């Protein structure tokens, strides 16, 4: 029997996702957002436990689905959402390690660009280095809302890193010297998938740990307590 679903990684049917999807890395954060913010959330995907929900927020259809960890994982799910499910906007709602003295734990980084040590862009055959950037409209809207709310935030470059455990203990130093604000593992692939599909993306990340000071948050805090980021992304979604 043929599989009626558009992809091998997603059990949702066409039309199950809203035009805008929030993508946390953690499936349990996706569940938390759906259960605490969306009206009448409906589970539309749970293949491999990668939970995806669709409901409404302030009367506007919004979806939330986990991306998993790393560029290969978000690369699969964002590609499928853009190219098989008609999704127009993806807002990554994730965590990042701060590389800047300007940032404190729980501050928000709006990823204007995403540097990377990944070879993701090599698939496109560009004769140079592609610069993955956010959609300016999404970035401008999110920054305006953050300003209105009086949130502590910075706009700038993220580093999307392939390794989490890097054999070079000083690997972040060069990026920090170039003004990169924080390190995470997904935004560059998301931005490149959006560019290739002609769609829109923005990474909104909460500082979960500080590389310079050694401060950290717990797994439970990362899952349920980054509400300023969640609410900023949701309010951005309903104004598109």
Active site residues: 209
147 SS3 class = helix
Question: Residue 37: which of 190, 239, 232, 222 has the closest Cα?
Answer: 232
Say if CB 9 and CB 76 are below 8 A apart: yes
Q: Which residues are registered as beta bridge partners of 58?
A: none
Rounded Cα distance between 199 and 43, Å, is 24
Rounded Cα distance between 43 and 45, Å, is 6
Rounded Cα distance between 96 and 109, Å, is 8
Question: Residue 148: which of 237, 235, 28 has the closest Cα?
Answer: 235
Say if CB 10 and CB 73 are below 8 A apart: no
Rounded Cα distance between 46 and 43, Å, is 7
Say if CB 233 and CB 91 are below 8 A apart: yes
What dihedral angle (degrees, nearest 10) is formed by the CA atoms of 126, 71, 112, 151? 180
Rounded Cα distance between 71 and 5, Å, is 23
């Amino acid at each position: 029997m043929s599989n009626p679903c558009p992809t091998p990684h997603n059990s949702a049917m066409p039309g199950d996702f809203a035009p805008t999807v929030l993508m946390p890395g953690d499936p349990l954060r996706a569940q938390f957002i759906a259960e605490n913010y969306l009206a009448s959330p409906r589970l539309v995907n749970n293949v491999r436990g990668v939970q995806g929900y669709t409901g409404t927020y302030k009367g506007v259809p919004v979806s939330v689905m986990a991306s998993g960890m790393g560029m290969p994982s978000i690369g699969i799910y964002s590609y499928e959402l853009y190219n098989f499910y008609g999704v127009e906007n993806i807002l990554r709602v994730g965590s990042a390690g701060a590389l800047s003295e300007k940032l404190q734990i729980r501050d928000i980084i709006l990823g204007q660009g995403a540097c990377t040590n990944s070879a993701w862009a090599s698939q496109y055959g560009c004769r140079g280095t592609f610069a993955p950037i956010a959609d300016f409209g999404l970035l401008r809207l999110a920054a305006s809302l953050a300003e209105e709310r009086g949130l502590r935030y910075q706009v700038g470059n993220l580093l999307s890193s392939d390794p989490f455990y890097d054999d070079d203990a000083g690997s972040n130093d060069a990026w920090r010297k170039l003004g990169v604000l924080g390190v995470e593992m997904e935004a560059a692939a998301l931005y490149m998938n959006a560019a290739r599909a002609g769609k829109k993306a923005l990474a909104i990340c909460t500082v979960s740990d500080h590389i310079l000071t050694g401060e950290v948050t717990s797994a439970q805090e990362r899952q349920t307590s980054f509400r300023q980021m969640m609410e900023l992304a949701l309010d951005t979604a309903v104004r598109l």
